[in-house]
Every structure is written in structure tokens, then in C-alpha cells.
Structure 1
Amino acid sequence: MTEKWTTADIPDQRGRVAVVTGANTGLGYETAKALADRGASVVLAVRDVTKGRQAAARMNGDVTVQPLDLTSLDSIRTAAATLRSRLDHIDLLINNAGVMYTPKQTTRDGFEMQFGTNHLGHFALTGLLLDMMLPVPGSRVVTVSSTGHRIRAAIHFDDLQWQRSYSRVSAYGQSKLANLMFTYELQRRLATHGTTVALAAHPGISSTELARNTPTALRLPIGWLAPLITQTPAMGALPTLRAATDPAALGGQYYGPGGRNQIKGHPRLVTSSPDSYEVAVQQRLWTVSESLTGVTFPVVPAPAVPAVDQPFGADLPGSR
């Protein structure tokens, strides 16, 4: 295994098509740029088209912009329909966009903003595009989670939309835990197809605009520590890029920074929280997500396997 994996280790991506959400800035920008630099045709799926075009102008190669607002199921369906008309296949779907620690608010469809954007939006988009990936050998869905999936995190089925009470930290944790559970259940369903695989990644603590809603009580100490505990967006994007392109990567794996406590460093295989491996919760979340979004996937459920806390998604059916 490469100890210090970098963008220089990305294989030639010529002939591959990548769709990257939230690619006009931060981690998404660095992910899209690296893929374009290696020859991929990259679609920047972004809410702000003007910023998306500005980002595309700073990249090399075949880079286009697709309007996408993950807070609106109508926008997601429109974007998916447009991509289906423009592209004949998709090799990589990078579910990168997200919001963090937002004040209590809802999406256009009435979902809690963090759960609706980070999980339900990407769930719907993936389901609407997946049949463009299933025939493509080596295609991958990579969903970006966070170390926040360990912090006060659970799937609150009794109040998924935080209508009774609201904690921005807990709501973020729920959404990032949902990203992992979605990945693991998706991989279980994909395993019998033998082409597309699902993986997850997290950026550690990276210096991006995502932290703009950090509570005031945390902002000051984080500000003092930032030079010591954060890394650049380019470094933070490496786990996602490795999950998307490393020929040795397997479905169901999770990549993050290799430094102490997965805060920063070069990407390596990591483990997620024990809660994230609970198969029954993964499957219940999937069913609820289908009901809330109205999106069903072109892959059937696979037989459940016992949930065990094994490294590298070892309890999941995997394929290259």
C-alpha cells in the first residue's frame, strides 16, 4: 500500500466521466480539478452556476457545469434528467457537497437542512443516475462523510427532521452517519452486479468554507488551534480521490487521513464508528429515504450479513 498517496498516484482518467457535487470551491473543487488534470471529463454539479463557471475556467481539460440544488428534489430530478440527456455514461459520482452546523432551517421539501442536503439530496441524486453507471466496469459512487459521524450521532427515526428539538452538532452527526450507512447498504446491493461499487471518504479537518456556521463557543478555540489541526483543501480531497481512483480500492471501504486521530495526513483505509455498521439500521434508513424522496434504486436488496465492527468495511461484499 502506498504510504504517502498523492494526486501523482491517480491513474490516467482519459475516457472517464466524473460528476462532482459542490465542486465550485473547497474539497469539491480540488477533487474535480485533480480528476480533470488526469484527463477525466468532469461535470461540476453546483448550486451557484456563476461560481461553478468561474471554477471551471480555472481548471484544465473538459470541464462543464450542471446546476444542482441539493435542497430541492425538483432541482435534483431536473439535474439528473439533464445529465442523462447530455452523457451516455458516468464512471464516477462524487457526492461531496454538504452543509455543516446550520441554524435550524428546512430544505424546500421540508427536510431538516443538514439531513436533507447531506444525505437525502445525495441519496436521490445517486438513485436517479445509478443506471448510467451499472453497465460501466470500474464505476464508483464515492460519498464524503466526516469524523463528525462519531460526535453525538445517531439516526433519530422518531424525529428525523428535528421538529421537537434541534442540535446543530447532533443533526450534522446524524447526516454524516447517514452518509456512511447509505454507502454500506448501497455496496451490499451493488455487490451482485459486479461493476459499480460504493465507497466513502472523509477529509479530516480541512480549512474550507464548510465551517462558517461553527457555533461561537467552538470557533475561538478552533481558531487558535487551526494552524496545528487543519490541512489544506487539496490535502483534504485526497481520501476522496483515492477512494475514486485507486485500482486497489474495494467496495465498502472508507478512506481518511492517515495522521493521528485521522485529523490530517495522506489518505489510508480507516474504520468508521461501530454504529455505522448496524445492518438493520442501514436498511431501515434506506427504506425511509426512499419514502421521503420518492426515489427507488435499480438494485435489489441483498441478504443481510451480521453487523461486525471490522476494519475497511470487511463485513461488506466488495469488488474492484
Structure 2
Amino acid sequence: MTKWTANELPDLTGRTVVVTGAGRGLGLITARELARAGAHVVLGVRDTGKARRAVAGLPGIFDIRSLDVSDLKSVRAFADSWSGDLDILINNAGVMDIPAARTADGLDLQTVTNYTGPFVLTNLLLEYVTDRVVHVTSQLHRQGKIDLTDLDWRRRKYNGMRAYEASKLAVVLFSLELQSQLTAAGSRVRSVLASPGIARTALAAHSRSNVVNRFTFLTNDPERGALSVLYAATQDVPGNSYVGPDGLGGLRGYPAVRRQGKAGLDQVMAGRLWDATNELVGAVAS
């Protein structure tokens, strides 16, 4: 079978794409390839200087804007400054298996970076989106467990990997509920999931699980890991599709439409999570 690569990206001239966390790793590769295909790429990043240096000399149109998805004030400022159509929003920014920490908003740093912040950002920008929202998740969502009474790890003993898994399951359920609402509203906008497998980036390399460092034969290099995101962002896939590597266990390989874990297809749970998240951050969506 033919393996899909970035060489097969369509002409994206005239399209506007936001990629969060695009200063390095998968986000930077994604931004680079979309710009190469003609898109106007907005990099939403914490360190604008670093991002400018990263894209210096690359072909294409880049717009560097300040965005820290872990800071809801920053998220709202980014959304408030937006005008005009936004064809594709790619929620890529993330952290993995980090120690317990609270943000200025008092939120769990890992949960807000991976899920809560992107939830708020997506809802604030949704009126501008014309094509799709891509949520970068992980195969580890299959091991995630969500406590609706303690989304923000205030009552339970914090565990970095468990918090990561839960946040990535929350992302999958967010896509499910978002697509349900879009379909009910008669919108043509799609919500799509992308898993890079296990990619050898700075995100995973520091994890205490040490899978990336010990078992590199099970992992994707960053260039191939980004392919799932690029495929999800540009190919004609149904709403709430789950795009991930085609290899064993979805850990490595080339992009293909796969199936999310059973817990990620629970529509009742998805609706309850949406409501609980709104309650946590203040009503930003219906």
C-alpha cells in the first residue's frame, strides 16, 4: 500500500491555519509543511522570539503570535485579537508526565495545557473556523480515566502519567462532543483527532516512563510523527475521525484513519465532561 507523506499535501494557498505550540517539535514541523504547501500559518507560541528564529529562512508565510494555552488570560487575549476566517485550528501544544504545578489561574498545569486551555481556545475561536479543528491526542488516551468531580486534581493524589492519560482522553471526548454539536447545528466544520504515535520529541523524552529512550524501535521520528497531524488537517476524513500511525499498536508508521479507544466514544460521558469543564473554567460554550 502507498504510504501517505507530506509530499501529498494539497495546495493550501489562501488558507489560514493556527498551530499552537509550534515553536518546536511536531508543531514546528506541522507549521513548516503547511506553509510550504501555501498556507498562511499562525504560530501560537509562548516564546515568540524562539519561534521567529525557528522559521527564519523557511519558505512560506508565517505569523508569530503570543499564546500560552496554560494561561486562560493569554488564551482569551489571543481569541479577542482574532479577525477574519480561520480555516484550520490545530491544538498541538502539550506537556507530558510533568510534576504537579498550578497556574496563575489555580489550575493543574498539565490538564490545562493539554485539555482545558485548548477547550477554551476552540470555543472562543469556533465562530471563525471554516473547515476543521484538529486535536492532537495520544494512544495513551486508551488508559485514561476521568473523574468528573475532580478534573483538576485537587482532591486526588497527583500522578503525572495518570494526569497525562486523563487529559488525552478528555481531548478525545471533547472532539466527540464538539462534533455532535457541530452536526446538530448543521455546520460543515469538522472536529478531527490526530495521534503521532510515540514520537521522539522533547515532549516525551523526559517522561519518567523512559519508553522513548529505551525502545526507539517502537517509536516514530518527529517528521513521521507529524504526518498524522498533517493528514488530519488536510485530508477528506469524516468528523471525529481518529488519525494515527498504521503500525502495530498505533505507535509508529504512516497516517491512517484508525479507531479511538472505547472510552473515547462514550457520548454521555462526553456531554458530562463538556459541562464539567465549563463549570471549571467559567461558561465559555453552551
* TM-score normalised to structure 1 length: 0.85
Answer whether contact 1:107 1:117 (CA < 8 A) is retained: no
What fraction of aligned residue pairs are identical, expressed as a percent?
40
User: What is the aligned partner in structure 2 of residue 263 from structure 1?
Assistant: 251
Q: Which residue matches 2:201?
A: 208
Would the aligned equivalents of 1:3 and 1:266 in 2 still touch at CA under 8 Å? Answer: no
After superposition, what is the alpha-carbon deviation per residue over 1:24-43, rounded to whole angstroms, capped at 9, x for unaligned? 11110111111000000000
Given the alignment of the two structures, is residue 154 of structure 1 paired with residue 145 of structure 2, yes or no? yes
| Cα distance, 1:29–1:39 mapped onto 2, change above 3 Å | same
- 3-state DSSP of counterpart to 2:68: coil
1:293 Cα offset (Å): 2.1
* Cα distance change, pair 58–27 in 1 and its aligned pair in 2 (3 A): farther
Q: Distance in 1 between matches of 2:163 and 2:172?
A: 15
1:121-160 to structure 2, matched below 5 A, reads 121-133=117-129, 136=130, 139-151=131-143, 153-160=144-151
Secondary structure class of the residue paired with 1:159 = coil
CA drift at 1:179: 0.5
State the alpha-carbon separation in 1 of the partners of residues 25 and 212 from structure 2.
18
The separation in 2 between residues aligned to 1:4 and 1:212, in whole angstroms, is 26
Comparing 256-265 and 53-62, the one that deviates more: 53-62
How far does residue 83 in structure 1 lie from its aligned partner after superposition?
A: 2.4
Alpha-carbon distance change, 242 to 295 in structure 1, aligned in 2, over 3 angstroms: farther
**Alpha-carbon distance in 2 for matches of 1:209, 1:193:** 40
Contact 2:16 2:85 in 1 (8 A): yes
Quick one: structure 1 residues 166 and 263, their matched pair in 2 at CA, closer, same or farther if it must change by over 3 Å? same
Shift of 1:157: 1.5
Runs of 4+ in structure 1 over 4 Å off: none
2:229: which partner in 1? 240
1: distance between equivalents of 2:199 and 2:212? Answer: 12
CA drift of 1:51 comes to 1.2
Distance in 2 between residues matched to 1:114 and 1:58, nearest whole Å = 33
2:232 match: secondary structure: helix
Q: Is the 8 A contact 1:127 1:295 kept in 2?
A: no
Amino acid at match of 2:92: N
Q: Which runs of 5+ in 2 are unaligned?
A: none
**1:131-180: per-residue Cα shift (whole Å, max 9, x none)?**
011xx3xx1100000011122x1111132222230111110000000000
CA displacement, residues 241-264 of structure 1 (integer Å, 9 cap, x when unaligned): 111101x31111000000111111
- 1:22-64 Cα distance to aligned partner (Å, 9 max, x none): 1011110111111000000000000111111112214311101
TM-score (norm 2): 0.95
TM-superposed deviation, 1:193: 2.7
Q: Aligned pair count?
A: 284
- 5 Å matches for 1:22-33? 22-33=21-32
Provide the C-alpha distance between the structure 2 equivalents of 1:39 and 1:295, rounded to a whole number of angstroms. 36
Q: Specify the SS of the correspondent of 2:220.
A: coil
Cα deviation code 1:268-307 (max 9, x no counterpart)? 011111111111110011011122222433xx6xxxxxxx
